[in-house]
């Protein structure tokens, strides 16, 4: 059994029981941390200067299986490295190459990274050339002189290494017009690097979401009596975006006539372009709670309270006809399963609007 207490801090929301409580929704999908200092070649004794800037997304979740049995989640998250290469000389740079290798930070150790290269979401002139070491090689297009840089992405499913806290990129970039390398090597190269920290909060999850990817966020199933997952597919042709899910402390007014229980789960898909989610492409939220948290142990009339981003509230009682729902089902809808052996209540919800979610009776 692999148990990791990973996840990045976003929002914590604790719903204490019934009564008057308030929900603090997650803000926009910010936290895009990037390198802003160019790494530049030194054109000695001959050659021309060129500069490389590498941007990344800090705080994304590691991927992989957490927990075991009925208490498990299988996270699938993504990260990227955005390269901008600027030609600082007076004529075109040619015969460019990039070799990028990833390692995982585990304690004080640097291990070969288990991040998985996603060719379909990356630059077409790059490809994986080795998994151990985890290496991608690129044959770069020519770059004309001037302020217009060559911009491209390397995209990865995040590491599945147990105990990983970061993934580090080290690379070599070179052009024929660079300074002569050892023994007259041509193209000459110079080193670049970027470090990406991975989140470590058991009650939150963060993922970069590229087009055509199936993404699964999840909170730790071993941290307390409740955990949740958020799964969705980004349609081809839509823009990539940053997504978050969290559960914990916060505030919500439990609607009159309901007794709310468990923790508030907040989904933030606000970075997605319009049309990414719809009745034909919903997301799937699963909330799993220990039966001891259910007032009176009665699960027959469980509803799901949804506080939308615009603060309006809906009470979801409609049961989906199947799991996943049929195309004729009206969304949002839920299924409710009681597992007496595992002592768990499992609520599956399908919808296409952000917000806060909390069970009620």
Q: Is the pLDDT of residue 10 over 60?
A: no
Q: Is the pLDDT of residue 20 over 50?
A: no
Residue 13 pLDDT: 31
Q: What is the mean pLDDT of residues 222-244?
A: 96
Residue 189 pLDDT: 82
Per DSSP bridges, beta strands 109-112 and 96-106 are: antiparallel
Residue 14 pLDDT: 30
pLDDT band of 15, cuts 50, 70, 90: very low
Please list the residues that pair with 106 across neighbouring strands.
109
Percent of the chain with pLDDT over 90: 74
Residue 133 pLDDT: 98
Give the integer Cα–Cα distance in Å for 248 and 260.
Answer: 14
The mean predicted confidence, pLDDT, of the chain is: 87
Rounded to the nearest 5°, which phi and psi values hold at 28?
-65, 165
Distance between the two ends of the chain, CA-based, in angstroms? 34
**Local structure of 226: helix, strand or coil:** strand
User: Hunting for tokens 């204490």 — which residue is that?
Assistant: 16
Give the integer Cα–Cα distance in Å for 347 and 352.
Answer: 16
Give me the residue spans of the domains in the chain.
39-197, 204-360
Tens-place pLDDT, residues 103-122 = 999 999 999 999 999 999 99
Q: What is the CATH number of domain 204-360?
A: 2.60.220
Residue 159 pLDDT: 98
pLDDT band of 249, cuts 50, 70, 90: low
Q: What is the mean pLDDT of residues 199-223?
A: 96
Q: What is the mean pLDDT of residues 4-28?
A: 32
pLDDT band of 182, cuts 50, 70, 90: low
Residue 12 pLDDT: 30
Give the integer Cα–Cα distance in Å for 77 and 229.
Answer: 12
Give the integer Cα–Cα distance in Å for 68 and 331.
Answer: 31
Residue positions counted in the chain = 361
Q: Tell me which of 35 and 16 has the higher pLDDT.
A: 35
Give the integer Cα–Cα distance in Å for 254 and 18.
Answer: 7
Give the integer Cα–Cα distance in Å for 214 and 153.
Answer: 19
Q: Is the pLDDT of residue 11 over 60?
A: no
Determine contact, residues 155/77, Cβ cutoff 8 Å.
no
Q: What is the CATH number of domain 39-197?
A: 2.60.40.10
Residue 21 pLDDT: 32
The answer to which of 29-43, 134-148, 291-305 has the lowest mean pLDDT is 29-43
Q: What is the mean pLDDT of residues 290-294?
A: 93
Q: What is the mean pLDDT of residues 187-203?
A: 90
Angle subtended at Cα 330 by Cα 328 and Cα 332, rounded to the nearest 5 degrees = 135
Determine contact, residues 118/41, Cβ cutoff 8 Å.
no
For residue 167 the two structure tokens come to 């993934």
Q: What is the per-residue DSSP string for 262-290?
A: SPEEEEE-TTSPTTSSBTTB-EEEEEEEE
Residue 251 pLDDT: 57
Q: Tell me which of 41 and 85 has the higher pLDDT.
A: 85
Assess whether the previous peptide bond of 222 is cis (omega < 30° from 0): no
Q: Is the pLDDT of residue 28 over 60?
A: no
The reply to whether 204-360 shares the fold of 39-197 is: no
pLDDT band of 188, cuts 50, 70, 90: confident
Tens-place pLDDT, residues 64-95 = 999 999 999 999 999 999 999 999 888 899 99
Q: What is the mean pLDDT of residues 175-187?
A: 64
The answer to which of 47-51, 83-87, 121-125, 198-202 has the lowest mean pLDDT is 47-51
Percent of the chain with pLDDT over 70: 85
């Amino acid at each position: 059994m692999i148990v990791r207490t990973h996840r990045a801090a976003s929002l914590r929301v604790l719903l204490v029981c019934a009564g008057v409580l308030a929900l603090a929704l997650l803000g926009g999908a910010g936290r895009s941390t990037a390198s802003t200092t160019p790494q530049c070649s030194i054109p000695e004794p001959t050659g021309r200067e060129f500069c490389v800037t590498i941007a990344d997304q800090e705080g994304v979740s590691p991927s992989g299986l957490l927990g075991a049995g009925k208490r498990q989640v299988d996270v699938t998250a993504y990260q990227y490295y955005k390269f901008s290469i600027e030609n600082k000389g007076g004529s075109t740079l040619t015969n460019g190459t990039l070799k990028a290798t990833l390692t995982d930070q585990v304690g004080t150790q640097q291990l070969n990274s288990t991040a998985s290269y996603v060719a379909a979401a990356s630059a077409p002139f790059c490809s994986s050339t080795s998994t151990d070491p985890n290496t991608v090689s690129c044959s770069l297009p020519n770059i004309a002189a001037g302020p217009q840089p060559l911009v491209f992405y390397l995209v990865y499913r995040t590491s599945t290494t147990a105990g990983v806290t970061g993934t580090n990129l080290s690379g070599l970039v070179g052009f024929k017009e660079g300074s002569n390398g050892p023994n007259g090597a041509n193209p000459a190269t110079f080193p670049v690097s970027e470090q990406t920290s991975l989140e470590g909060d058991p009650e939150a999850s963060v993922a970069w979401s590229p087009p055509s990817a199936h993404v699964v966020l999840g909170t730790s199933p071993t941290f307390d009596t409740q955990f949740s997952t958020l799964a969705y597919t980004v349609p081809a042709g839509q823009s990539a975006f940053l997504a978050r899910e969290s559960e914990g402390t916060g505030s919500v007014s439990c609607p009159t006539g309901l007794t709310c229980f468990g923790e508030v789960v907040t989904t933030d898909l606000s970075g997605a372009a319009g049309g990414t989610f719809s009745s034909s492409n919903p997301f799937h939220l699963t909330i799993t709670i220990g039966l001891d948290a259910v007032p009176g142990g009665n699960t027959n009339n469980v509803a799901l309270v949804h506080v939308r981003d615009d603060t309006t509230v809906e009470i979801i009682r409609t049961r989906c006809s199947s799991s996943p729902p049929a195309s004729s089902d009206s969304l949002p809808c839920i299924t409710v399963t009681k597992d007496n052996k595992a002592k768990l209540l499992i609520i599956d919800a399908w919808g296409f609007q952000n917000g806060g979610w909390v069970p009620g009776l």
